[in-house]
Structure 1
């Protein structure tokens, strides 16, 4: 039972982190630079709110219904995969920034 409560807490925490990530300057800038439809971002935000409500309800029902428990487990797995994907995106973004700064510094030193 403690594992289920912990899993639910992790899922809720991830949803909150996902909200913050979607609202970050980097994500907004990514959408704008690639001329992506910002309504997609709005739809993602709405979906996260829906998922948050569903998981709150499922966390309570999982103790009475094994199907809900199995569904919640599958959602947790998907959330962890999504979190890994977002972490990889963050890593790639930081790597690109560092490489760009390094290239800029190298050019600066060549001209000095």
Structure 2
């Protein structure tokens, strides 16, 4: 059962990497105040963790510290995924509002009214991205302490 859970963890990490900086999100961030450089750092950290995932999955059987590391990493990845969902939802909402404003002649007042909440949202989101990044960065540092190696293939 643990192997199924860890295979799910690897798949979750893969999905997160695919979602972290899609073109739509980059377009959205140019017009808003989303810190894309922080998202890129987050992606690099996730790639670093992904590189040692096979070794960690093998070592968790004999090393309880690695098992705990994987369990805590899973929680952090869920938090990162939730945050990306929140950003993507806001991106879609803004896109839909922009499309509806094109059809309405009095949209300037609505846009001015909504711009302040958007800025507030992105200040909060940037802070949350920073928190997730720092948390995952700690996992990246711990992988070295746990002597997890890159490119280790699972046993057949």
TM-score (norm 2): 0.56
Unpaired segments ≥5 residues, structure 1: none
Question: What SS is found at the alignment partner of 1:107?
Answer: coil
CA apart distance, 1:55: 2.2
CA apart distance, 1:30: 4.6
Distance in 2, matches of 1:103 and 1:37, equals 26
- 1:46 is aligned to 2:44: yes
Aligned match of 1:21:
19
Number of residue-to-residue matches in the alignment:
105
CA apart distance, 1:13: 1.4
Query: CA offsets, 1:80-102, max 9 Å, x none?
Result: 01101101111111111111212
Aligned positions of 1:1-112 closer than 5 A: 2=1, 4-30=2-28, 32-33=30-31, 41=40, 43-107=41-105
- The 1:26–1:10 alpha-carbon spacing in structure 2 relative to 1, beyond 3 Å, is same
CA RMSD of aligned residues (A): 2.6
Unpaired segments ≥5 residues, structure 2: 107-156
TM-score (norm 1): 0.74
> Which of the pair has the greater relative contact order for Cα pairs under 8 Å at 6+ separation?
2
